[in-house]
Amino acid sequence: MIFSRTRGWIGVDIGTHTVKLAQVERRGSRVELVEALSIPRQEPWPESGEDASSIASSLEIQAALSLGSRFRGRDAAVTLPMAVCDVRTCNVEGDTDAEQRAAVLRELDSVATDTQGTREFDFWSVELPVEKGPAADNTIALSVPSSWASRVAEDMRESRLVGHVLDGLPLAAARAIALSAPNTTTPIAAVDWGHQRATLCCVKSGRPLFVRCLRECGFQSVTDAVCKALAVTPDEAQKLLHDHGLPNRMHGGVTELQGVIEEVTREPLDRFVEELRRTTAFLSFQRRSIAPTKVVLLGGGAAVKNMAGYLNERVEMPIETWSLDAAASIAFTELRQPIELFGPAIALSSLAWGT
């Protein structure tokens, strides 16, 4: 259509460590990155994420909008980190959306604690063939405390944005996979390796059918190890990991600094590898219809130089980092930060077209 929207919404990925904004543009069948910025938090979150809903993100959002000269419009979509979300698979009966929503609400009420208060939630069906695992679970439900929804609404108002969607990270990750590999129908394990949490979403045909937070695998443990061993700040550790990273013995030699980084980060990386192996093995034995054929990394862990190659030597499954087509991205070559950080924010921007 001649008058169809070409510019996406502003995607806002609110994280525990940074706030990331991105905007894309649709040109024919291609989605092009127009602008993307990541702003460090001015006020850190508590490690547990509790009571963080009192901490605003509007200053970071406004800073990104000011510094990102290519951002256009005020329409936005937002996602929150899994550290403040609850995700569970459950059995939901009912023929209508209202009946199914009532069933999910009963499920959430049955597991809620007295301190959680009211929650906002959404859900999607998981249609899998009968396999070795429980056949009764047919729905994934994702919820956040209502205080968080109110916090996001206030951040949007203070930033003069119009928030149309508060999306779930598993759905945003699935959409990011669909953008980078639009014709792929085989299952893919998308791992959003964030500061506090690493979340694995098994995606098939653009839909998350399995979600698991990898235990004690937040990327913070990697940066903390570098900070402690080399006596550097977290920002300096991030730069060392991005610029130098880990050895990739399949492609060239190993620098002395890469060897040091490998040694000091061995414990958290071994833990990540073990959790990744356990989860993919479970899917291979218990959920064969969605057993992933490869792993795609997003987030801070994906931005480490040679991370995919390093993991490929240790995991018996192809591993790659997420990206859009560099040639199709207006801002790609000018991006001051790794594009792997912006998968969910880019996916949020594409919600302008109802994808």
Q: Among the CATH numbers 1.10.490.10, 2.30.110.10, 3.80.10.10, 3.30.420.40, which is that of 10-353?
A: 3.30.420.40
How many angstroms separate the CA atoms of 102 and 117, rounded? Answer: 17
- Which tokens belong to 194? 């964030």
How many angstroms separate the CA atoms of 257 and 237, rounded? Answer: 12
Instruction: Answer yes or no: are the C-beta atoms of 166 and 154 closer than 8 Å.
Output: no
Q: Which residues have C-beta within 8 Å of that of residue 217, sequence separation ≥ 6?
A: 193, 197, 198, 268, 271, 272, 275
Torsions phi, psi for 250 (to 5 deg):
-75, -15
Measured CA to CA in angstroms, residue 341 lies from 55, 162, 309 at distances of 22, 23, 18
How many angstroms separate the CA atoms of 10 and 351, rounded? Answer: 9
Residue 3 has pLDDT above 60, yes or no: no
Measured CA to CA in angstroms, residue 90 lies from 110, 134, 139, 215, 261 at distances of 12, 10, 5, 21, 42
Radius of gyration of the chain (CA): 20
Measured CA to CA in angstroms, residue 311 lies from 120, 246, 307 at distances of 37, 10, 6
Classified as helix, coil or strand, 11 is: strand
Domain boundaries, the chain: 10-353
- Across-strand partners of 125? 139
Predicted pLDDT of residue 1? 39
Instruction: Answer yes or no: are the C-beta atoms of 78 and 84 closer than 8 Å.
Output: no
Q: Note the pLDDT tens digit of each residue in 126-151.
A: 876 655 444 568 899 999 999 999 99
Predicted pLDDT of residue 355? 58
Percent of the chain surpassing pLDDT 90: 63
Percent of the chain surpassing pLDDT 70: 89
Average pLDDT of the residues of the chain = 88
Measured CA to CA in angstroms, residue 208 lies from 86, 123, 126, 171, 172 at distances of 15, 11, 8, 6, 9
Classified as helix, coil or strand, 76 is: strand
Q: Note the pLDDT tens digit of each residue in 323-345.
A: 987 555 555 556 678 899 999 99
Q: Note the pLDDT tens digit of each residue in 9-37.
A: 999 999 999 999 999 998 877 888 999 99
Classified as helix, coil or strand, 179 is: helix
- By residue count, the chain amounts to 355
Q: Note the pLDDT tens digit of each residue in 158-198.
A: 999 999 999 999 999 999 999 988 888 899 999 999 999 99
Q: Which residues have C-beta within 8 Å of that of residue 311, sequence separation ≥ 6?
A: 273, 276, 295, 297, 319
Average confidence (pLDDT) over 214-243 = 95
Residue 109 has pLDDT above 70, yes or no: yes
Predicted pLDDT of residue 91? 85
How many angstroms separate the CA atoms of 143 and 118, rounded? Answer: 10
- Which tokens belong to 128? 């899998």
**Number of other CB atoms surrounding residue 190 within 10 Å:** 29
Residue 47 has pLDDT above 80, yes or no: no
- Helix or strand holding residue 192 (H, E): strand 188-193
Average confidence (pLDDT) over 201-212 = 93
How many angstroms separate the CA atoms of 214 and 172, rounded? Answer: 18
Question: Of 27, 124, 65, 38, whose CA–CA distance to 345 is shortest?
Answer: 38
Question: Of 89, 105, 101, 92, whose CA–CA distance to 141 is shortest?
Answer: 89
Q: Note the pLDDT tens digit of each residue in 266-300.
A: 999 999 999 999 999 999 988 888 899 999 999 99
- β strands within 29-138, DSSP E: 30-40, 75-79, 86-90, 119-125
Average confidence (pLDDT) over 193-211 = 93
Torsions phi, psi for 311 (to 5 deg):
-70, -30
Torsions phi, psi for 272 (to 5 deg):
-65, -45
- Which tokens belong to 122? 């959404």
- Which tokens belong to 45? 């979150």
Distance of CA 136 to the CA centre of its chain: 28
Residue 114 has pLDDT above 50, yes or no: no
What pTM does this model have?
0.91
- Helix or strand holding residue 190 (H, E): strand 188-193
